[in-house]
């Protein structure tokens, strides 16, 4: 199942958040003949992949939901616990 399929120019940045749990594959390719001729056929890609609670922008969440510092910290701790549970479930399935 394709979750995201997009075309981009020769340079650019984009972010994507998957709302579907599980294993994901990232496939990249270039259809540029200029790149093959002038860059020696090389494609440079920088991937910055973040998973779990690290993907949350907590200052933005606090502003949007009008959370106190204590409420925000509680939200962060709950997210960490949820991430630990997901990792434990993943390890159980992997060993199973």
Q: What is the pLDDT of residue 72?
A: 85
For residues 81 and 59, what is the distance between their CA atoms, to the nearest angstrom? Answer: 19
Tell me the torsion sign for CA atoms 23, 78, 50, 4.
positive
- With cut-offs at 50, 70 and 90, classify the pLDDT of residue 27: confident
Please name which of 67, 84, 63 lies closest in space to residue 75, comparing C-alpha atoms. Answer: 67
- With cut-offs at 50, 70 and 90, classify the pLDDT of residue 2: confident
Q: Confirm whether pTM is higher than 0.85.
A: no
Average pLDDT, integer, range 83-95: 81
Q: Which residue has the higher pLDDT, 77 or 32?
A: 77
Q: What is the pLDDT of residue 32?
A: 66
Q: What is the pLDDT of residue 89?
A: 81
Q: What is the pLDDT of residue 29?
A: 73
Assign residue 66 a region (left: φ > 0; alpha: ψ between -120 and 50; beta: otherwise): left
Main-chain dihedrals φ then ψ at residue 18, nearest 5 degrees? -85, 130
């Amino acid at each position: 199942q394709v979750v995201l399929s997009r075309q981009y120019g020769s340079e650019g940045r984009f972010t994507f958040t998957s709302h579907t749990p599980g294993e994901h594959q990232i496939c990249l390719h270039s259809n540029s003949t200029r790149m093959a001729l002038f860059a020696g056929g090389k494609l440079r890609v920088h991937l910055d992949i973040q998973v779990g609670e690290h993907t949350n922008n907590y200052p933005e969440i606090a502003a949007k939901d009008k959370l106190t510092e204590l409420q925000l910290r509680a939200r962060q701790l709950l997210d960490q616990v949820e991430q630990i549970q997901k990792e434990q479930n993943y390890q159980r399935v992997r060993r199973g």
